[in-house]
Amino acid sequence: MGLGAFGIKLGMTRVFLKDGTAVPVTAIKVPKHTVVAIRTVEKDGYNAIQLGAFETTEKKLTKPEIGHLKKAGVKLLRRLKEFRVENPQDYQVGQELTVADIFKPGELVDVVGISKGRGFAGTMKRWDFGGFPKSHGHRYHRAVGSIGQRTDPGRVWKGKRMAGHWGAEKIRVQSLLVVDVLPELEVILVKGSVPGHPKGIVIVEKSRIANRRSQRLKLNRIKHIPENLVRNEQ
């Protein structure tokens, strides 16, 4: 449970630690978010707040969306999402949250996005199949091979890995370290790569697995990165 936000993937770069170590990071722009609705256990059965981002026009919204936003008394927003929180009473409808209010350096986050579409791909590219021998005498080199079974069950199993559309699907990358937060640029730097193409919209939220023992140990190993980061003001 914890706050999250929408973001725009800007691309990858690297930052340096005080000892000269280069750390690959992805820059994600997180604009100001507005609290659109508050959910409580007494009224809704759970605690959460609904955040909205990316100001838009009525033309790009449905009538129910327009009515929902106008009833809350906030500007028209393109994207809405609820985030479970333990203290919804600390927020008010119409309140604006900046990137510094949501994320802090040194915490673990999950990033959800739509992966790059690769079109129709064969089994070797899509599933990393080995293929057939490439020597003379073989007619097929990158074919899928046998997909059938014996008389029993006499069919192709559901879920068989075959050629088809690759990419353009929802991907969640878990437990990425927030290396730095740049409030003046509305940008966070996340260690490693995230799904999607540059300028694609992603969702950044507190990691679901951050409390696991393995992730706590991982955080102990990499907590020196935000502490030893070379920043512009230094």
pLDDT tens digits for range 196-224: 999 999 999 999 999 999 999 999 999 99
Amino acid of residue 119? G
Q: Are residues 46 and 91 in the same domain?
A: yes
Q: Are residues 133 and 149 in the same domain?
A: yes
Q: Are residues 220 and 127 in the same domain?
A: no
* Residues ≥6 apart with Cβ < 8 Å to 45: none
Give CA–CA dist 176/111, Å, rounded.
Answer: 8
Q: Are residues 54 and 25 in the same domain?
A: no
Q: Are residues 16 and 128 in the same domain?
A: no
| pLDDT recorded at residue 234 | 42
Q: Burial code of 186-202, b = ≥16 C-beta within 10 A, e = fewer? A: bbbbbbeebbbeeebbb
Q: Are residues 113 and 201 in the same domain?
A: yes
| pLDDT recorded at residue 232 | 66
Given a cut of 80, whether residue 46 has pLDDT beyond it is yes
Q: Are residues 38 and 138 in the same domain?
A: no
Mean pLDDT of the chain: 93
Q: Look up the domain containing 83 and give its range.
A: 33-97
| pLDDT recorded at residue 231 | 81
Q: Are residues 174 and 113 in the same domain?
A: yes
Q: Are residues 4 and 104 in the same domain?
A: yes
Rg (CA), the chain: 23
| Per-residue pLDDT tens digits for 121-175 | 999 999 999 999 999 988 889 999 888 888 888 899 999 999 999 999 999 999 9
Q: Are residues 18 and 50 in the same domain?
A: no
| pLDDT recorded at residue 152 | 87
The DSSP H or E segment spanning 219 is: helix 213-222
Give CA–CA dist 169/173, Å, rounded.
Answer: 13
Name the token pair of 189.
Answer: 């730097």
pLDDT band at 233 (very low <50, low <70, confident <90, very high): low
Q: Are residues 106 and 175 in the same domain?
A: yes
- CATH number, domain of 56, equals 3.30.160.810
Report pTM.
0.88
Average pLDDT over residues 84-105: 93
Counted domains in the chain: 3
Other C-beta atoms lying within 10 Å of the C-beta of residue 103: 26
